[in-house]
Amino acid sequence: MNELMGARELCGRPVVTLGGDAVAQLRDTVFDGPAGRVTGFTLSGRGLLAGPLRKSLPWAAVHALGRDAVMIRGQEVLVEPSAVVARKEAAHGQVLGARVLTDAGTEIGVVLDVVVEGGRSGRVVGFRINARQSLVMGSRRRRRKVFVPRGETLAVSGRALVVPADAVRFVADDLAGFAARVEAFRARGGAAPDGLEKGPSA
Amino acid sequence: MSWWLWPVLVVAAVALLSALFLWVQARRRAGTVIAVQRGGRSGERGAR
């Protein structure tokens, strides 16, 4: 699995052509909820005085999503903003702060960030959430920030996300441990162990 | 009003306007995460 990164930290990351020109920086990350893949980015200009650009970057035009920059072939791959996200979708699809529910009907927290796999994958592998106490066994604190894998059945409706109930057994405390938890979640094959299963970092 | 109050007021007004400008710029450039539903179609299957 490629390096995992939070979508919030992508904001401000420079968009660089393979020719070495920094042409923009990332603003919003747009992903397809049911498919679990990044579909593109809205952009802002470089520099303190620059505002949002009238161009956006579809994922198909991304050469690689790296730790320090997003690489594209050239400036000609940038498209109209509506090709990535319509204005109405942008207004109603904001995920940060949304409630997270399991398909069993339990609210497990609110979304703090969306975890994306870098490189050429663009997969959304999970969420960083502010977990309710009921999710975090043995925690004295009312809420705690944990990473929870995205399920194949993820639904996005209004201000809520739905994840499989057994995803809460694969929470991790940090991104380093989360990659292993995601792999374990994918490989669970219906034989997940009972109780809250936590990674080595937890 | 004392004469020295004018430069103080001007400096304060400039500082206030600068802070307001920077705040507006920060808001304009602040990103978020947006979920959409594409119904399974996509050029979003990954970059080349």
Which CATH number fits the domain A92-187, given the four candidates 2.60.120, 2.40.128, 2.30.30, 2.60.40?
2.30.30
Q: Are B47 and A120 an interchain contact pair (Cβ–Cβ within 8 Å)?
A: yes
Q: Do domains A4-84 and A92-187 have the same CATH topology?
A: yes
CATH, domain range A4-84: 2.30.30.240
Contact between A53 and A39 under an 8 Å Cβ cutoff? The reply is no
Per residue in B14-48, pLDDT (tens digit) is 999 999 999 988 888 888 899 888 765 433 344 43
Residue A202 has pLDDT above 70, yes or no: no
In the structure, what pLDDT confidence band is assigned to residue A142 with cuts at 50, 70 and 90?
low
State the nearest Cα–Cα gap between A138 and chain B, in angstroms: 31
Q: How far is CA A72 from CA A28, A66, A76, A77, A79, in A?
A: 17, 11, 9, 8, 13
Domain extent listing, chain A: 4-84, 92-187
| Mean pLDDT lowest among A89-98, A181-190, A193-202, B14-23 | A193-202
Per residue in A60-85, pLDDT (tens digit) is 999 999 999 999 999 999 999 888 88
Mean pLDDT (chain A) is: 84
State the nearest Cα–Cα gap between B18 and chain A, in angstroms: 12
Q: Are A28 and B32 an interchain contact pair (Cβ–Cβ within 8 Å)?
A: yes
